[in-house]
Amino acid sequence: MSDERDLLIARVRETLRADPAAAPEPRAVAQVLQAVWQSPRPSLWQRAVEAWRGAAVTPARATGLAAVALLLGFVTRGVVVEPAAPAVAARPAGSSAFPAQRVADVADGLVQTQFVYDGKAESVSLVGDFNDWQGGVTPLDRLETGVWTVTVPLPPGRHVYAFLIDGTLVVADPRAPKSGDADYGQEGSVVMVFAR
């Protein structure tokens, strides 16, 4: 067998042995030792493992922490979405051909961004990373022409969104590029928000 002497395999070997990605953190050993010294004795450990493996074990402490986490996370990300952003007038009617989103009016670092859906529906709302994908929070208004629209203030950057039709059906914006992120087997659309 030539694998042992194969230069290509030798190079793979050397690459992996010297892999910088596998270099330990400076305090890694100390952390491991701390974990070792603090770990419970075997019988207890076994129980801990079983408890951890068991389904739906939710320590009350975790729930408390989570509540704080949620609040903090919301504040730190700094995303504020007003339903139907009242101060901003929608684009004129009769505009089924206008782009998927239009960007204008910068205020407080947020950029007013308009979304348009042109299709049959009883109700349409905007869902995306900026409103925690909550249906119904950001409804689109129906214009006389039958086109649905809403304008929301968004922080500059790349946002992934979709439309929620009649409260149940999630559809990507047909006029915008797809996000390429298919965590749930369904891509969203992308808007790049920035102050022009």
Identity (one letter) of the amino acid at 69?
Answer: A
When asked if residue 187 is in the footprint of other proteins (CB under 8 A), the reply is: yes
When computed from its CA atoms, the radius of gyration of the chain, rounded to whole angstroms, is 26
- 15 or 144: CB nearest other proteins: 15
Q: Which of 45, 47, 87, 93 binds other proteins (CB under 8 A)?
A: 45
Tell which positions 86-105 bind other proteins, by CB under 8 A: none
Contact by Cβ (8 Å): 139, 154: no
Tell which positions 140-169 bind other proteins, by CB under 8 A: 155-158, 164, 167-169
- 74 or 94: CB nearest other proteins: 74
- Stretches 89-97, 133-141, 142-150: which one binds other proteins (CB under 8 A)? 133-141
CB of 86 to other proteins, least distance (A): 13
- 64 or 146: CB nearest other proteins: 64
Chain centroid to Cα 5, Å, comes to 48
When asked if residue 7 is in the footprint of other proteins (CB under 8 A), the reply is: yes
Q: For the stretch 71-94, what's the b/e string if a residue is b when 16 or more beta carbons lie within 10 angstroms of its beta carbon?
A: eeeeeeeebebeebbeebebbeee
| CB neighbours of residue 98 within 10 Å | 16
